[in-house]
Amino acid sequence: MAKLLKILPGPCYASHKVIILLLTGITFTFHYCYWNPKSQHVKSLLAGTRTAVGESHTNYLQPDALTPSRRDVLVLTPWLAPVVWEGTFDIDLLNAQFKLQNATIGLTVFAVKNYMSFLELFLRSAEKYFMAGHRVNYYVFTDQPELVPQLPLPGGRRVIVLRTQSHQRWQDISMQRMGAISHGARQRFLKEVDYLVCADVDMEFRDHVGVEILSSLFGTIHPDFMAVSRYSFSNERRPESQAYIPEDEGDFYYIGAFFGGSVAEVYRLTEACHQAIMIDKANHLEAIWQEESHLNKYLLYHKPTKLLSPEYMCDHDLLQDMQHRKKLGLSNIVRRIRIFALLKNKEVKSNNASQKVQSTDGR
């Protein structure tokens, strides 16, 4: 090579010398980076892998195809939707995957009339347990915007107050939610959030409720109907109602206090329920459990892609049963109480807004 360079003209000799030096430098860099154990990221890129810059290694137990995560409960529906229980998911793994979506979650809640008394506890407990570490928009529907508590929130989490009208009857207050959520989804939620969770205000978050609940469309199994046949479900049985479900149909009975999914799917659900409620109203009908009856009708024919166990809506009766079984040394399928439905105080009862819940307890 040296002899060849010497016989070349001056300008050519100089340019070729530069090229050879560059090639030598590139070759040396390639070999150093490839064989240096500290340059795993470079090797992965050279190998054509998709490792992201700054991506960390995650340790977790390998799934075992022959060992289900829980043997004492249903963890998969016949239409292949997972049922979420404690012990069926790895939240660290889910959080790592979810952060790749760079998504924002919306949480809708209605605080109307005397139900405003529940709002502060709802928001404070949600800040402690709901979607910790993720961006959240709390959409508070209320007829009393001036009474919404001002809570200190970290970056990426905010309270958005939306004025809504009140009604004299608690049934009308309950049913208006579907129309309000549908309207909100069409007007702003589709632009502002990726997932929408819809909750009752008279409840408290008591343990972690995170991205494990999120799916295209999810519903929550009612604790009072966890282990009964479909013939015992409290569905609407009058054929003339839009919420009608025959006695020989039904997968689960879903509580109306906690449901959600992608904004698009929640919009379809709430709009369909709102239209069905309006048709019933025009025909002077009201489903037995108002919007909850219409929710169950919709989820029967539009199967949810994920179901939440009663861990996500524990009531007073279920809590007492858990404590009783613990005293007797018996096992219990509900291992953690994540959301607790609060009992109504006298002030709310006097407003005739708690009859539905009281009747539900006695069903």
Residues acting as catalytic residues = 292
What distance in Å separates the CA atoms of residue 27 and residue 252, rounded to the nearest whole number? 65
- Known binder of ligand: residue 115? yes
Q: Using an 8 Å Cβ cutoff, are 309 and 50 in contact?
A: no
- Known binder of ligand: residue 32? no
**What tokens appear for 55 in the block?**
């991506």
What distance in Å separates the CA atoms of residue 318 and residue 30, rounded to the nearest whole number? 64
Q: Using an 8 Å Cβ cutoff, are 221 and 255 in contact?
A: yes
- Known binder of ligand: residue 202? yes
- Known binder of ligand: residue 112? yes
- Known binder of ligand: residue 315? yes
H or E, element range at 183: helix 170-184
- Known binder of ligand: residue 209? no
Cα angle 212, 214, 215 (rounded to 5 degrees) comes to: 120
**What tokens appear for 217 in the block?**
């469309």
- Known binder of ligand: residue 292? yes
- Known binder of ligand: residue 251? no
Nearest to 141 by CA among 158, 166, 104, 167: 166
- Known binder of ligand: residue 302? no
- Known binder of ligand: residue 90? no
Spell out where 203-324 has E strands: 203-205, 217-220, 258-262, 306-308
What distance in Å separates the CA atoms of residue 215 and residue 262, rounded to the nearest whole number? 7
**What tokens appear for 104 in the block?**
């924002």
Tell me how far CA of residue 63 lies from CA of 69, 89, 212, 339, in angstroms.
9, 10, 17, 28
Binding residues for Mn(2+): 200, 202
Binding residues for UDP-N-acetyl-alpha-D-galactosamine: 110-112, 115, 200-202
Binding residues: 110-112, 115, 200-202, 222, 292, 315
